[in-house]
Amino acid sequence: MRKNMTASEWKARINRFALAFAAALLAAAQGALAAPALAAPGPVFSDRTFIEAVKRVRPSVVHIRVTLRQDSSESLMDVFGRGKTPSFDFGSPSTGPQTSVGAGVIISDNGYILTNQHIVKKAEEIRVKLHTGEEFEAKLNGADEKTDIALLKISTKVKLIPAKLGNSDTVEVGEWVLAIGSPFGLSHSASVGIISAKGRDLRQGPYDNYIQTDTAINPGNSGGPLANSRGEVIGINTVIYTRGLASKNQGVGFAVPINQAKPVIDDLLHKGYPIRGRLGVSINEVPSKTGKKLGLARFEGARLATVIRGGPAHKAGLERGDIVVEFDGKRVIVWQTLPRVVARARPGTEADVKFYRGESLRTVRVRIGSRPERPEKARTQITNTLGLEIKEITPRLASRFTLNVESGLVVVAVKSGGPAERSGVRAGDEVVKINHTAVKTLSAFRKMLRGLEGEDSALFLLRRRGSNLYAAIRFHQ
């Protein structure tokens, strides 16, 4: 470096340095602006996240072993879709009562256990085993077929650890979850996956609102918990989707949301049956042109088709043709949403209902009515000549009676002491032919029944567990 520089040379050098420094600052600023914003930090997971979650949930899970009545072909895993549910054989002789397994969740320290209704529907005896190995007889305290929820009760001095119930309304698609149950009889087994979807309607009941998960769920997981990474129960595992003859996990399982079960639990505890909220209306979907005119999303809202005179909706001023878009702060995403959220409302409480009348958005306050749903009495009302009840096969009936068919007719009930029972007909038998004539629909069966007037007997060709057999039903003895 030169030591003897003129003033003008020093000034020029300083200016060049200042300009370079300013350019560097500008470049740094532009780079900072161009850099992507950092995402908000999410849940922190480690190797112990699910270890700790399983430790919290597992002590609250029970293994359920059910001895079914001898006249029952009930399966303990409600399999949706085509396929055959595998039978469970845990040492019971083939000539003895059928035995199968499921799972449940302890929800109170005084012995109440939450499980699926389809597990215990035809139970002659229910046994539950804790994670520590103690086994107890359980009694059915109450059940709700429409949400597939049942409440059991055991009496013990053993200290029970109730599960912590979470909030299924706030779960998000992509959230990590775990399942604990008894797949294929392997009690207290754990598996992990994510929430795949919410609000699934499988068309199996009026309150279908399932959580879908890819967590491994297999026959025997029914009634067990679906829990989040904090060990909070957000659902009760209920159904899997299968294809073909394989009844196994294919990454598509469904659970009843725990928030749907909570109001039912209280009713089952005190009444033994559910008491749902009631508006006193019938509904249908909003016409697409009307929805567009009102600025609604596709399928949003529920149109009131009828309003029952004197019912809660009528008293609040709702009318036929009104379009309900929100109930008690909950948006009616599709028209089927309305009966689900109304059913969860407690009778006697009040809720705000937002609706369109014409193009005017209004709000009324409705006092919720009551819809008790007492369990049906035993089917003694079968009055036809044969003493049996026959239905067309649906996915639910195929699962219920372990059928490997998608269509046809099945015997769903047999009158005690009636002609069909005396001839050996059982619930779950497929009806193939009557008097050598194929019958595949209810209308064909009814026509055949009318043709039997004046006859003394009918020859049924039945299929039971893959084997054909004949039953000569004599109804004039």
CA 70 to each of CA 67, 73, 125, 421, 426: distance values in angstroms, whole numbers, following the listed order? 9, 8, 11, 13, 10
Indicate if 71 and 182 belong to the same structural domain.
Answer: yes
Q: How confident is the model at residue 28 (pLDDT cuts 50, 70, 90)?
A: low
Active site residue 148: yes
Reported as a single tens digit per residue, the pLDDT across 236-254 is 999 877 654 455 567 788 9
* In-domain check, residue 83: yes
Look at residue 379 and tell me if it is in a domain: no
Q: Are 282 and 259 contained in the same domain? A: no
Task: Say yes or no: 306 and 348 in one domain.
Answer: yes
Please say if the pLDDT value at position 36 is more than 60: no
Q: Clarify whether residues 66 and 153 are in a common domain.
A: yes
Same domain, 155 and 234: yes
* Domain stops at, among 264, 296, 320: 264
- Tokens, residue 164: 């912590």
| Six token digits for residue 402 | 């372990």
Asked if 430 and 356 sit in the same domain, the reply is no
Domain CATH code at residue 418? 2.30.42.10
- 72, 75, 168, 222: the catalytic one is 222
In a domain, 16, yes or no: no
Q: Is residue 341 part of a domain?
A: yes
**343 and 405 share one domain:** no
pLDDT digits (tens, 9 = 90+) for 413-465: 888 778 888 888 888 899 999 888 899 888 888 888 777 766 778 889 999 87
Q: State mean pLDDT over 323-337.
A: 93
- Same-domain check for residues 161 and 248: yes
- Which of 235, 264, 293 lies at the terminal end of a domain, its last residue? 264
Are 260 and 281 in the same domain?
Answer: no
pLDDT of 108 reads: 95
In tens, the pLDDT along 181-224 reads 998 888 999 999 999 999 888 877 778 889 999 998 888 899 99
Residue matched to tokens 């003897």? 4
End-of-domain residue from the set 372, 402, 422: 372
Catalytic-role residue among 60, 100, 118, 191: 118
Q: Average model confidence (pLDDT) for the chain?
A: 82
Residue from 75, 100, 144, 148 carrying the catalytic annotation: 148
Phi, psi (rounded to 5 degrees) for 302: -130, 125
Please tell me the total count of domains within the chain: 3
Domain that holds residue 91: 47-264
Q: Are residues 254 and 290 in the same domain?
A: no
Write the CA distances from 379 to 142, 376, 412, integer angstroms.
19, 8, 10
In a domain, 24, yes or no: no
Buried b or exposed e, range 6-27, using 16+ CB within 10 angstroms: eeeeeeeeeeeeeeeeeeeeee
Does residue 84 sit in the same domain as residue 179?
yes
Among this protein's residues, is 73 annotated catalytic?
Answer: no
| Residue 118 known to be catalytic | yes
For residue 188, tell me if it sits in a domain. yes
Indicate whether 62 pLDDT > 90: yes
pLDDT value of position 80: 34
pLDDT at 402 (0 to 100) = 76
CATH number of the domain that residue 142 is part of:
2.40.10.120
Q: How far apart are CA 273 and CA 238, in angstroms?
A: 19
- If asked whether residues 408 and 364 sit together in one domain, one would say no
Could you tell me if residue 15 is inside a domain?
A: no
* DSSP code, position 246: B
The pLDDT of residue 233 is above 80: yes
pLDDT tens digit string along 107-163? 999 999 999 999 998 888 899 999 999 999 999 999 998 899 999 999 999 999 999
Is pLDDT of 26 > 60?
no
CA dihedral 87, 91, 96, 98 (to 10 degrees): -30
Residue 73 pLDDT more than 50? no
Burial of 201 (0-12, 13-18, 19+ CB in 10 A): middle
The tens digit of pLDDT for each residue in 297-314 reads 988 999 999 999 999 999
CA dist 3 to 6, 8, 18, 230, Å?
A: 10, 14, 21, 72
- Give the confidence band of 6 by pLDDT, cuts at 50, 70, 90: low
Domain membership flag for residue 39: no
pLDDT at position 472, please? Answer: 86
The per-residue pLDDT for 105 is: 97
Q: What is the distance between the alpha carbons of residues 76 and 119, in angstroms, rounded to a whole number?
A: 5
